[in-house]
Chains A and B, each alone.
Chain A
C-alpha cells in the first residue's frame, strides 16, 4: 500500500477546479479503482461514468495527466509514486458534472450516416453470403467501443471547435466500414466530402494514437476514404474514365464458394 496524490476536476461546464486528494493504492490497481476509492471514502458526490471496468464499454473516458485514456485500462504503476496524477474530463465535450461529459453530439453525427443497404441479390435462404477476405478490413473498425477518445483528441473538434464541419474520426471509420462493406449498395462519398468534412482531417493521427482498441483509424479508415473522395472529385484520370466508360457496376461475392 502506498499513498498516491491526485488532482481531480470538480465542477460543471462553467465553473470548476482541480481538487487535491490522497488515497492508499494497492498493487494492480488502475486509475478508475483509485477514483472509486476516493469516491467511497472522501467524495461521495464525485460524478464518474463507468460500466464494465474491462475496456470494452467505452464509458470511463477521461484525461489522465492530459492524455485521453480509459481510466479502467490505465494502471497506477504507469506513473511515478511521488507524482500527482491529474484527472480531468474530456475537453472536447461539455462537462455535466466532475468527470462526466455530455457526448450526445456524437449520437447525432451517427444518425446522419446512411445505414447499410444490402444487395438483395446476395440473399439466399440461409441469409446473406460473404467471405472472410471481403470483411478483413471492416472487422477492424467493428472493434470500436465508442469511447470517443478519438473524437476528444481530434484537434479539429477539440481546439478549432469545428463540430459543424467535421463528424470526427469515429464516424469517418463508421462510414469506412459501410463503404467497404462487400454487400452494401449505398453511396456516401458525396456526403463524406461535402457534409461530413473528410477534407477537414489533416491526418495528424492522434485519433490512432489514443484508440484503446488499437484501431488504425487514420491509415486504414480515414485515408482510404480520402482516397475514394480523390477518385470521385479530384483525380482527372478516374473522372475521365467514368465519363467515357460510365460508373463501374458493383460486383458482389458469389453465392457459393
Chain B
C-alpha cells in the first residue's frame, strides 16, 4: 500500500467518468453521420431541381432521385424535372408560396424523417450523441435543470409512441422505391443497366431490411402473442418472429446502411442529372 488519492464516489456531472477507453468515438460518429445526413437532405430537398435523369430521352424509364420520390406534384419548367406523367396529382399547385422552392421532396420528407426519428435504434443513437442522456455507458448524463428533473419519454418525448403509425407509412416507401428501381432499368422503354439502376435497386432492398427489423413490426407480427402453440396463427406468428428477429438483430446495421445508401444514390443521380458525372450504362452499346 502506498499513497492515497482523495475521491468522491458519488460525484456526478456531465461526462464525468472513470472510463479510460475512447467512449467519445460512438457519439462522435453518430453526430457526424446524422448531421451530414440532415444537412445533405435539407440541401437536396431545397434545390427543387435536377432530380430526374433519362439521358434526354422520352418514354418509359429514367432515374428518379430517392429524396424526391414519390412525386406528388411536378413543376416541369425547372431544370432536371421529371416528366408530368410521373406526377401522382398533376402540376405544381399555384397556391404554393413563392419563397419556398417548388420541391416535391419537401412534401414527402417528413414521413421517413419521423419514422427514423422515432425508431428504437436511432433513439439510442441520438439520445447518446445529441442529448447526452447518457453520452456513453457509465459516463455522466446531462442533468435536467427543471424542478421535476429527468422525465425520459414520459414528458414531451411521449410522442415517440407514434412510431408504430409511422411504420405503416414508411412501408409504402419500400413499394415506391422498388417501382423507382424498376423504372431505372429502362430508358425510352428499352431495358438496360446503369450504375444508377444498381444504386436505386440497392436502396429499397436496404430500406426493406431496415424496416422489416423494426421492433414495432416484430410486435405486430409476433411479439404481442404469448401462445405460439395455439394453432396455425400461433405457428405463423412464431415463424414471423424468427424472420423479423433476424433483421431486428441487425437493425442498427441496416439503419446506417440504408441511410448512407439513399444519400449516395440521391447525390449520384443529382450529379448525373446536372451533367457532372457520366453514368456508365448499357444503353450506349
Contact = CB atoms under 8 A, between A and B. Distances in A.
B141 A67 contact: no
A205 B128 CA distance: 10
Interface of B is mostly: loop
Q: Which range holds the interface residue count of chain B?
A: 35 or more
Contacts of A124: none
Task: Among A16, A91, A218, find the residue whose CB has the most chain B CB atoms closer than 10 A.
Answer: A91
B248 interface: yes
B9 interface: yes
A20 B230 contact: no
B161 A197 contact: no
Contacts of A201: 152-153
Contacts of A235: 161, 164-165
B124 interface: yes
A253 B227 contact: yes
Contact of A159 (B5, B140, B151): B140
A251 B227 contact: yes
A89 interface: yes
A66 B18 contact: yes
Given A20-B3, A202-B127, A197 B138 contact: no
Interface string B1-38: 11111111110100001111100000000000000000
Interface string B117-143: 000100110011000011011111101
A146 interface: no
B161 A230 contact: yes
Interface stretch (A28-36, A50-58, A105-113, A221-229): A221-229
Interface string A174-208: 00000111101000000000000101111111100
A86 interface: yes
Contacts of B282: none
B41 to A, nearest CB: 24
Contact of A199 (B1, B153, B164): B153
Contacts of B124: 203-205, 218
Nearest to B165: A235
A22 interface: yes
A19 B229 contact: no
A24 interface: no
B147 interface: no
B86 interface: no
B152 A153 contact: no
A67 B138 contact: yes
Contacts of A182: 226-229
A41 B150 CA distance: 45
B153 A88 contact: no
A13 B10 CA distance: 8
A65 interface: yes
Interface string A40-79: 0011000000000000000000010111100000000000
A226 B87 CA distance: 39
Contacts of A197: 152, 154
A142 interface: no
Contacts of A17: 4-7
Contacts of A219: 120, 215, 248-249, 251
B194 interface: no
Given A16-B9, A95-B9, A21 B1 contact: yes
Interface in A148-187: 153, 155-156, 158-160, 162, 166, 179-182, 184
Nearest to A65: B20
A202 B142 CA distance: 14
B141 A63 contact: no
B232 interface: no
Nearest to A42: B1
B1 A166 contact: no
A247 interface: no
B155 to A, nearest CB: 9
A251 B218 CA distance: 20
Interface in A97-151: 130-131, 133-134, 136
Nearest to B11: A91
B157 interface: yes
B252 to A, nearest CB: 10
Contact of A153 (B138, B149, B216, B251): B138
B249 to A, nearest CB: 8
A122 B138 CA distance: 45
Given A182-B226, A224-B219, 12 more contacts: A16-B8, A20-B2, A42-B1, A65-B20, A68-B137, A136-B228, A155-B134, A180-B226, A203-B123, A204-B123, A204-B134, A219-B215
Interface of A: 7, 9-11, 13, 16-22, 42-43, 63, 65-68, 83, 86, 88-89, 91, 95, 130-131, 133-134, 136, 153, 155-156, 158-160, 162, 166, 179-182, 184, 197, 199-206, 209-210, 218-219, 223-224, 227-231, 234-235, 250-254
5 contacts: A134-B228, A156-B150, A202-B157, A204-B134, A206-B138
